[in-house]
Amino acid sequence: MPVNPSARKPGEDWIALVRKSGTPEFAAAFEANPVLHASILSGPCVGIEAVTAAIGAGTGGMYDTLVFTHEAVDGPKTYLEWEGTAFGKAVGGSTILTHNEAGLIQSV
């Protein structure tokens, strides 16, 4: 089956948003008090400033490479599977975005 070059790639929208981290457009994609949970954190990051800081730290050099390999949407949730390298080691995981009724991100 031929691949459609104009087809969206997994994680494309999330990558575009993360690249705008710290901007008003980035903040506008989230509800007033979003929460970010991550296995490498001792607890959740709550509020847009904390979420922005955590995402900035992750994209600011923790990963040598990161590629989204699969995306699925089920109601208010978007599931993103990824793989890459960090600190010279192979890593992989998933990112789950939960949207509120207005379509704004309420949790990551």
pTM of the model: 0.86
Mode of pairing for the β-strands spanning 105-107 and 30-36: parallel
pLDDT at 3 over 60: no
Q: Give the pLDDT score at 59.
A: 60
pLDDT digits (tens, 9 = 90+) for 45-102: 999 999 998 887 766 667 889 999 999 999 999 999 999 998 899 999 999 999 999 9
Does residue 4 lie within any of the structural domains?
no
Structure tokens at 65: 């490479």
- The chain-wide mean pLDDT, for the chain, equals 89
Question: What band does 4 get if pLDDT is binned at 50, 70 and 90?
Answer: low
Task: Please tell me the predicted confidence (pLDDT) of residue 56.
Answer: 79
Domain that holds residue 64: 12-107
3-state secondary structure at position 80: strand
69 within some domain: yes
Per the structure, the count of domains in the chain is 1
